[in-house]
């Protein structure tokens, strides 16, 4: 009982630890709820080390733990959630250098308690798969564009159109994050949240979805999401400017400049807390700066803008194809390592859904290699152009913009080509899996096919036995033929009355074409000719072997015809022998008659 009490008290302390540390940061003094919410969630993200996990690594963890195959409404218990978080952070430590390793157990405990407190406040011990995906994809590191693309893939149908019910479910889950950090009154979920983001009932595709959520300003309920990413980008930005209120000689993070008071600037700490001095008022409009430009850069920027060399406004995101995108679970994601040494980021291209054409099916092996080489070459060229653009003077700003536009176009083309490559890889993998399945399993799925296979196997065994018997009969007949040929040779050698032409016709029988070549369980063609003389072997020489397994029936019929011709040949040989004996008998009678008559006659030639 004492041990159980100590464990429960320890669990309560761990659950409250993150919130106690967050309260110690005194974020509640920030007067604007948007900044207050973004700062609190950024603190949770960094304290749980989620900022070190890229969104692509998070999606890969979903796939490795089998979440990509589960329904969004399926529930998982806390123990499985802990297993998933363990795999995420242990894989993170493998990617980090040894000098930057994190405390995995502490990160798992803090994040697990935060998720349970956010999505299982009633203590059921379970949460849905979609809630966990939405939370981890929102709170992990990476670019907001990649996060929104993944979120859209989870809330869209097979045609690439957003489903309003799924987007409403996403808002319901993601807006629990501000509520968990005590900002529910400002950013809590309401029934009108969806209509606030998309006021008009229309078909929402990927580009429209990105336009709305990455607009300036974004939807009111999600205004804290892009701000949290901007906070991460400016944490180490230095501004060599003095704050007009606290008189700090340098600023870190955001810098705010008043649009009415000349030269009045505030650091982010003073602006967030509402400090003001002199003629400045909190009601004045302030402009937020996330970087510092020297006076020389400002002058060149103004000159380029006045000459029309600067673009009027860049789009907030690249334009993606309107084709439907599958959920990005990284099941078949291609990861290309950079070719150039100055390219630090890994090129990651997600899978698409286009159906492969017939030409791609015929050219798949060489085409894949060519496409990969093309992507690697383009990546090297982009890296080289990026390094050269950093060394260009301010007067080449228009050229740099054109180069950046070309780079974006190249990236879009590479993504389209890579989608085709990934689809081709998927098709080839499916074909390989289907071809690698054993035949008995296929036969078991089809009883008719199994019965036919058994019948063919029985027919094959029967033909092999018949083949063996025919070969044995053939050998016996050829041995008998050999004896007859020896007898003929002996008679031909001793009889002077035999003509050479007739003896040659007797000793050279018709060659018999053998179609029984092919291995059988009992005999081979060489075994059948064992004990037969060289003359018969020469007369019955084997031809090119045929495939017994593919043509057993034809082979059996050919052997039967061969045996018939052999019997006919033997009959013809017997008839020749009888005719020869009759001629010799007639010759002897004529010779005896001539001797008695005393006349000399020449021996006729036969």
Backbone angles phi, psi at 127, to 5 degrees: -150, 160
As a whole number of Å, the end-to-end CA separation of the chain is 126
C-beta of residue 228 within 8 angstroms of C-beta of residue 178: no
Q: How confident is the model over 269-294, as pLDDT tens digits?
A: 999 999 888 889 888 999 999 887 76
What is the distance between the alpha carbons of residues 518 and 536, in angstroms, rounded to a whole number? 21
Q: Is 271 helix (H, G, I), strand (E, B) or coil?
A: helix
Q: 48 CB contacts (<8 Å, ≥6 apart)? A: 18, 107, 110, 111, 114, 139
Query: How far apart are alpha carbons 216 and 144 in whole angstroms?
Result: 14
Q: pTM to 2 decimals?
A: 0.53
* Whole-angstrom distance, CA of residue 564 vs CA of residue 571: 11
Non-local (6+) Cβ contacts of 546 within 8 A are 515, 517, 518, 555
Torsion of CA 405, 409, 411, 414, to 10 degrees: -160
Helix (H) or strand (E) holding 54: none
How many helices (H) and strands (E) are present in the chain, helices listed first?
Answer: 24, 9
* pLDDT score at 483: 80
- Strand 75-77 relative to strand 126-128: parallel, antiparallel, unpaired? antiparallel
Q: 192-215 b/e with 16+ CB inside 10 Å = b?
A: ebbeebbeeeeebbbbbbbebbbe
- C-alpha to C-alpha distance for 287 and 469, rounded to whole angstroms: 102
pLDDT given at position 202 = 80
**Residues, the chain, total?**
606
pLDDT for 414 equals 87
pLDDT at 342: 38
The DSSP code for 274 is T
Q: How far apart are CA 338 and CA 414, in angstroms?
A: 14
In angstroms, rounded to a whole number, what is the distance separating the alpha carbons of residues 314 and 334? 29
Cα within 13 Å of Cα(466), Cβ side: 14
- Please state, in angstroms and rounded to a whole number, the distance separating the CA atoms of residues 543 and 562: 14
Angle between helices 33-47 and 129-139 (to 10 degrees): 100
Which residues are CB-neighbours of 139 under 8 A, at least 6 positions away? 41, 44, 45, 48, 50, 177
DSSP track, 109-176: HHHHHHHHHHH-TT--SEEEHHHHHHHHHHHSSS-HHHHHHHHHHHHB-TTS-B-HHHHHHHHHHHTH
User: Which residue stretches of the chain have pLDDT < 50?
Assistant: 1-5, 7, 329-365, 392-399, 443, 496-526, 542-551, 599-606
Per-residue pLDDT at 107: 94
What pLDDT is stored for residue 535 in this prediction?
54
* DSSP SS3 for 475: helix
């Amino acid at each position: 009982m004492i041990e159980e009490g100590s464990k429960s008290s320890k669990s309560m302390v761990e659950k409250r630890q993150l919130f106690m540390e967050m309260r110690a940061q005194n974020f509640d003094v920030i007067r604007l709820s948007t900044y207050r919410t973004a700062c609190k969630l950024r603190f949770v993200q960094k304290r749980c080390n989620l900022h070190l996990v890229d969104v692509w690594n998070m999606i890969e963890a979903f796939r490795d733990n089998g979440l990509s195959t589960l329904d969004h409404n399926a529930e998982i218990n806390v123990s499985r959630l802990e297993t998933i978080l363990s795999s995420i952070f242990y894989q993170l430590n493998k990617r980090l250098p040894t000098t930057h390793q994190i405390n995995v157990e502490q990160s798992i405990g803090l994040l697990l308690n935060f998720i349970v407190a956010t999505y299982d406040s009633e203590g059921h011990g379970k949460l849905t798969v979609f809630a966990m995906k939405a939370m981890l994809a929102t709170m992990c590191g990476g670019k907001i564009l990649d996060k929104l693309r993944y979120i859209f893939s989870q809330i869209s149908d097979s045609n690439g159109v957003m489903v309003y019910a799924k987007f409403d479910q996403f808002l319901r889950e993601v807006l629990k994050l501000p509520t968990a950090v005590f900002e529910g009154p400002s950013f809590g979920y309401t029934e009108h949240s969806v209509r606030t983001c998309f006021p008009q009932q229309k078909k929402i595709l990927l580009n429209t979805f990105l336009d709305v959520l990455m607009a300036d300003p974004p939807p009111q309920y999600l205004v804290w999401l892009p701000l949290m990413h901007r906070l991460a980008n400016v944490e180490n930005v230095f501004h060599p400017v003095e704050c007009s209120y606290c008189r700090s000689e340098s600023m870190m993070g955001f810098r705010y400049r008043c649009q009415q008071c000349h030269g009045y600037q505030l650091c982010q700490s003073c602006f967030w807390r509402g400090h003001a001095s002199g003629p400045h008022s909190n009601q004045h409009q302030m402009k937020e700066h996330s970087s510092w430009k020297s006076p020389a850069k400002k002058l060149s920027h103004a000159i380029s803008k006045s000459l029309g060399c600067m673009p009027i406004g860049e789009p907030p995101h690249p334009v993606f194809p309107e084709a439907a995108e599958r959920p990005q679970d990284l099941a078949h994601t291609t990861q290309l390592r950079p070719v150039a040494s100055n390219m630090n980021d890994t090129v990651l291209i997600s899978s698409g859904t286009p159906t492969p054409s017939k030409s791609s099916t015929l050219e798949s092996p060489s085409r894949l290699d060519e496409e990969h080489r093309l992507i690697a070459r383009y990546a090297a060229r982009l890296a080289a152009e990026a390094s050269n653009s950093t060394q260009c003077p301010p007067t080449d700003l228009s050229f740099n913009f054109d180069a950046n536009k070309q780079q974006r176009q190249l990236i879009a083309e590479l993504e389209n080509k890579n989608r085709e490559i990934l689809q081709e890889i998927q098709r080839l993998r499916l074909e390989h899996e289907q071809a690698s399945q054993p035949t008995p399993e296929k036969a078991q799925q089809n009883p008719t096919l199994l019965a036919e296979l058994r019948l063919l196997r029985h027919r094959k065994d029967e033909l092999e036995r018949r083949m063996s018997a025919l070969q044995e009969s053939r050998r016996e007949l050829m041995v008998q033929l050999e004896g007859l040929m020896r007898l003929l040779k002996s008679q031909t050698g001793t009889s002077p009355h035999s003509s050479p032409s007739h003896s040659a016709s007797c000793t050279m029988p018709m060659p018999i074409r053998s179609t029984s070549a092919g291995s059988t369980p009992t005999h081979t063609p060489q075994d059948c000719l064992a004990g037969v003389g060289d003359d018969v072997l020469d007369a019955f020489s084997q031809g090119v072997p045929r495939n017994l397994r593919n043509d057993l029936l034809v082979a059996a019929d050919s052997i039967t015809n061969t045996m018939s011709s052999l019997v006919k040949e033997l009959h013809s040989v017997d008839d020749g022998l009888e005719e020869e004996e009759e001629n010799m008998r007639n010759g002897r009678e004529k010779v005896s008659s001539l001797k008695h008559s005393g006349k000399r006659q020449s021996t006729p030639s036969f």
